[in-house]
Amino acid sequence: MRLLIAEDDAILADGLLHALRGAGYAVDCVADGAAADAAIASASFDLLILDLGMPRMSGLDVLKRLRARRSTLPVLILTARDSTEDRVRGLDLGADDYLAKPFELAELEARVRALTRRAGHGGQAIVELGALTFDTVGRVASLRGEPLELSARELSLLQLLVARAGRMVSKEQIVDNLCQWGEELSANAVEVYVHRLRKKLEPGGVRISTLRGLGYCLADGRVRSG
C-alpha cells in the first residue's frame, strides 16, 4: 500500500512518515497543496492523508481538484479546524474521513487501516485464500493458523497480492506500492521479494503464479468478514 501525506508541519509529517513506514506502508510526503495536487495527478496512491491549512493551495482545493478528476482515491483529512462547518464541508467535498488535531497516533493508524481496507476486498476484515488468512485490520498474516514472519516489504507485497487475488499484478504496480519517491527498486529486486514470499507461502499450498512478461497472481479463494 502506497500512501501520500500532505502536511506542512514538518515535525508532525516526519512523525507520521516514520510511524507509517514502520507499519509496512510505502509513504511519500509533501509540504504544500500544489505539490500534493501534482503528486496525485501523476502517481498512483492508495490513500491521501491531507492537511487543510497548507501553503500554495488549501487542502480543500486539493480535494476539489481530486474529485473533479473523478478520482476515487480515499482521503483522510487532518486539520486543527474542528468546527462542525469545516467537518461537513470537507466531507461534502468528498473526504472519506476526518481527524482533528491533536490526535493519537493509534487512532490515525486505525483509520488508515480502515480506509485502505475498503479499497481491497469490499471492506472485509478477514481474507482467506486456502490455508492463508490475512487480517486487513491488524495487517497480520497466518498460514494454517500459524503467524507468518514477514519483513515490511514482504507484508506490503502480500497485502497487494491479496487485495488483487485472482488478478495479475505487474512489476510496475509492485514497485509503485513498495517504493517511496527517490527510491529505486529494480525488476530483479521485485523477483527477490516475490521469491522470498513464495517460499513462505508454499508450505501451505498457497501459490504465487508468474505470468511471464506480465507480472504475478495470487490464487483466488474464499473471502469472509471477521
Distance between CA atoms of 181 and 226, rounded to whole angstroms?
35
Same-domain status, 93 and 131: no
CATH of the domain at 148: 1.10.10.10
CA 132-135-136 angle, 5° bins: 120
Domain boundary pick from 66, 101, 118: 118
Domain boundary pick from 60, 94, 118: 118
Q: Are 162 and 206 in contact (CB under 8 A)?
A: no
Whether the pLDDT of residue 225 is over 50: the answer is: no
pTM exceeds 0.85 for this model: no
Average pLDDT, the chain: 84
Same-domain status, 144 and 205: yes
Same-domain status, 146 and 213: yes
Number of folded domains that form the chain? 2
Element (H, E) at 134: strand 132-135
Question: What are the pLDDT digits (tens) for 198-212?
Answer: 999 999 999 999 888
Same-domain status, 132 and 214: yes
Same-domain status, 104 and 10: yes
Same-domain status, 109 and 132: no
CATH of the domain at 29: 3.40.50.2300
Q: Are 108 and 16 in contact (CB under 8 A)?
A: yes
Same-domain status, 8 and 114: yes
Same-domain status, 9 and 114: yes
The parent domain of residue 31 ranges over 2-118
Same-domain status, 82 and 150: no
CA 40 from centroid of its chain's CA atoms:
14
Q: What is the pLDDT of residue 119?
A: 58
Question: What are the pLDDT digits (tens) for 143-164?
Answer: 999 999 998 889 888 988 888 8
Bridge partners of 129, per DSSP, are: 132
Q: Are 51 and 76 in contact (CB under 8 A)?
A: no
Domain boundary pick from 118, 146, 173: 118
In this structure, the strands spanning 140-143 and 146-147 are antiparallel
For the record, the C-alpha cell of 91 comes out as 466531507
Same-domain status, 132 and 46: no
Q: Which residue has the cell 498457497?
A: 206
Q: Which residue has the cell 512523525?
A: 15
CA distances from 203 to 26, 143, 185, 192, 198 (A): 28, 8, 28, 18, 9
Q: What is the pLDDT of residue 194?
A: 92
For the record, the C-alpha cell of 47 comes out as 490513500
For the record, the C-alpha cell of 133 comes out as 488468512
Same-domain status, 111 and 149: no
